[in-house]
Amino acid sequence: MPILLDLPNEWIAFLVFFTIIMTFIAMAELARKVFKLSPELSRKLVHVMVGILVSLAPFFFRTSLPVIVLGLLFTVLNYVALKKDSLKGMHTTERVSFGTVYFPIAFMLLVVMFWERNIVIFIISMLILAFSDTAATIVGEKINSNRMFILWHDKKSWPGSITFFITTLIVIMIAYPVYSKLAGFTQLPWLHLASMAIFTGLISAVAEAVSKRGSDNLTLTLAAALSMDLYLSSMAQGTLLALGGWFALSILLGYGACKLQSLSISGGFGAFLLGVFMFGMGGWDTMLPLIGFFVLSSILSKIADRQTKPDIISTKGSQRDIVQVYANGGIPLIFAIAWYLSDFSIEPLYWAFLASLASATADTWETEIGSFNKSLPVNILTWKHVPKGYSGGITSLGTMGGLIGATSIAAIAYLIGSLDLNIELIGMVILAGFLGSIIDSILGASFQAKFTCSKCGKPTERMIHCNYKTQHISGIYWFDNDWVNVAGTLSGAVIFLLAYYLYF
């Protein structure tokens, strides 16, 4: 991008940007206190003004480091202000929201991912966050409750989501050609520009609708950026038809899983987003192992549910919601995206994807197959018997099932040609996945929150049991099974990468 103000030191530009943003915040506070502007309106004004300002960063910075530091600084400042209940002109909403914290996090991630790869995508994504999100909020606030819906946690409205989609179309159709020309990029034909805008609008609208406490500031921005990049990459490779097929297949899988009650509504939409990016970016290499994990694990969960008593220990049953979808698939998705953004040049990222997915599979199979064990499980740390379904409990049958589960992912990858017949490499994927599930069990036995029902006295992992608030007895209060699963899948990937770079 052409530099509009070529300063002798980019940190001077950093101070200028910091000062302007703080001025925006001060103006919002002044408008709220002196001119009695509503907190919601002042927050929206800051959201739009800051969004526009930071989208101009490429015109003032040649390198990304000062821009990343700027995002990091405001992440910390916004979090502290939110906790201290200050700067209400920027933070006040009718609901608890961490949107002002997610905003700079999204900004930083876009800088890391697209500053060098495609700066126009960075700019357009920030403009979508500034304008489309704000327009959707304004329209949504005017809508009657009978048009509201909840996919996960935050209330949304159909007119608000439609407004978001239309505004995104307008932003891309107008801004993308302008900034592409300034960057010296080849102009997109009108048909491809419109197709990319529709594709991006649909996916980012879903990412905006599936949110909790302002997380849409992060999800819609990343979804928009990745959607544009995926469309442009598919167009360059002549695989747009395949991308359309992955898009349709993701819809069918998400809808079918909801109809079969394997996923909740939020889980279905989360699986749709996961599928679009996982399938679109990795093709068969990522698609078939992921489907293998989901289908086989869902079947096992259904079978296990039928032969066991209703679960009073764990927080959730076999019907997975969006949190469970990403607790198990989020880390594999991150490695799949990293592999894609490396233009598939860093193969260990794909193998780490397999190891993290193998860890999720092993953990799920350990639980479901272990439920068939005749004797009670034992705590992996104390070796004392614990109730079935209690996190950190293991059985010989379940452990064997976990090893088979990890092996199944490596086997699928080998059968489709994604893994060569390399015994060391295949063994590393299986072992790393299995060890990740063991770490999952250790964390479940030690750090995961455990409770006791205040009414019936039974042990549980639920915060509410028998319609009463449970008593926290051990572990970290907020560290539930979903966080344990995230840690387990991450462990599988990290163990593989450490073993790979130490061995080869």
Q: Is 339 domain-assigned?
A: no
Q: Is 37 domain-assigned?
A: yes
Q: Is 275 domain-assigned?
A: no
Q: How far apart are CA 111 and CA 215, in angstroms?
A: 18
pLDDT at 123: 97
The widest CA-to-CA distance across the chain, in whole angstroms, is 73
Tens digits of per-residue pLDDT, 120-154?
999 999 999 999 999 998 888 777 666 788 888 88
- Residue 93 one-letter amino acid: T
Terminal alpha carbon distance of the chain: 41
Q: Is 459 domain-assigned?
A: no
Tens digits of per-residue pLDDT, 324-359?
899 999 999 999 999 999 999 999 999 999 999 999
- Residue 248 one-letter amino acid: A
Q: Is 251 domain-assigned?
A: no
467's CB contacts (< 8 A; 6+ apart) are 455
Q: How far apart are CA 298 and CA 259, in angstroms?
A: 13
Q: Mean per-residue pLDDT for 66-82?
A: 91
Instruction: Please answer whether residues 234 and 277 qualify as being in contact, where contact means their C-beta atoms are separated by less than 8 angstroms.
Output: no
Domain hosting 103: range is: 1-238
Count structural domains, the chain.
1
Q: How far apart are CA 284 and CA 349, in angstroms?
A: 16
Q: Is 185 domain-assigned?
A: yes
Tens digits of per-residue pLDDT, 382-421?
989 888 777 888 999 999 999 999 999 999 999 999 888 8
- Whether this model's pTM surpasses 0.75: yes
Reference 392, options 481, 482, 490, 302; nearest CA is: 481
Angstrom distances, CA of residue 96 to CA of 180, 214, 395: 38, 8, 42
Q: Is 187 domain-assigned?
A: yes
Q: Is the pLDDT of residue 163 over 90?
A: yes
Instruction: Please answer whether residues 451 and 464 qualify as being in contact, where contact means their C-beta atoms are separated by less than 8 angstroms.
Output: no
Query: Which contacts of 413-417 are long-range, i.e. CB under 8 A and separated by 24 or more positions?
Result: 413/285, 413/288, 413/289, 413/354, 416/284, 416/285, 416/288
pLDDT at 311: 47
Q: Is 397 domain-assigned?
A: no
434-472 core/surface letters (b: 16 or more CB in 10 A; e: else):
bbbbbbbbbbbbbbbbbbbbeeeeebbbbeebeeeebee
